[in-house]
Amino acid sequence: MTDGARTVAVTARNLTVKYGGVVALDNVCLDIAEGDYLGIIGPNGGGKTTLLKSILGMIRPSEGEIRIYGKNPSDAGGIVGYVPQVASMNKTFPASVREVVAMAKLRPEIMFFHKYTPVELEAADLAMEKAGIFDLRNKRVSELSGGQFQRMLIARAISHNPKVLLLDEPTANVDATSRTDIYDLLEKLNGSMTIVMVTHDMLAVSSQVRSLACLNVRLVYHGESEISEDMVKELYGCPIDLLAHGVPHRVLRQHKDGE
């Protein structure tokens, strides 16, 4: 799908998602250009994960539609890779890193006791090399640090060479060194794929992503990664301190009693 001179990777048109009587997304319209590195920010419960799952086809819209290179999510298999929140993953799974990465191409019903083919293992090895964890391939998942575990999930998501990579808070609960390693990896991957990242990390917002979407059930803002205090106040419902231009982070202002 093209929009003028640019190719649009993901399109949301009048996207509304409801859980029972609760509106999780309200009339969201969004175009994500091919090659973009989009950060999605917003308060908890603002619909960020719901948007990712809608793009994946895991959630059906109540109204509106999603298109991935012009296709329905159900017809876009292999185009999109997904890194879920680490908190939702079982870190005691009895498998090696190589096995977990290779599982990306398996259907759930054949995942256990599957004997991997040379082609499947070669794809896993290449993905682990890209993610910088090839030396960890024979380690058990339970032995990994938080940052290593996250890079394993990224390797699994890119093992089928997707055009679009979705990540849900990829630097949550990792140390500063691991956070830097993950951002360096995503910057490299952005050379060959569109990246859409949900984050609460304001460092990423100001120094990593190319564009920004602010989501609080509805789309408050979509554009350059530099946003105003008024925009963020509308998004979060509280004021913030924006540090001087060029300083790579922003912080939320400390709330006073009664605010």
Residue at 223 is within a domain: yes
Residue at 174 is within a domain: yes
Residue at 118 is within a domain: no
What is the number of domains present in the chain?
1
Kindly state the tokens that stand for 254.
């400390």
**Range 119-147 average pLDDT:** 94
Residue at 117 is within a domain: no
Instruction: Evaluate if residue 19 carries a pLDDT over 60.
Output: yes
Residue at 50 is within a domain: yes
Give me the CATH number covering residue 235: 3.40.50.300
Domain limits at 7? 2-89+164-252
Residue at 233 is within a domain: yes
Over the stretch 221-246, which tens digit does the pLDDT of each residue have? 888 877 666 666 666 664 444 333 33
CB within 8 Å of 1: residues ≥ 6 apart: 7, 8, 11, 67, 69, 70
pTM: 0.85
Residue at 135 is within a domain: no
Q: Is 26 helix (H, G, I), strand (E, B) or coil?
A: strand
Query: In angstroms, rounded to a whole number, what is the distance separating the alpha carbons of residues 214 and 235?
Result: 7
Q: Is 69 helix (H, G, I), strand (E, B) or coil?
A: coil
Query: In angstroms, rounded to a whole number, what is the distance separating the alpha carbons of residues 82 and 156?
Result: 9
Kindly state the tokens that stand for 228.
């105003």
Mean pLDDT of the chain: 84
**Range 144-150 average pLDDT:** 93
Residue at 141 is within a domain: no
Q: Which residue has better confidence, 151 or 86? A: 151
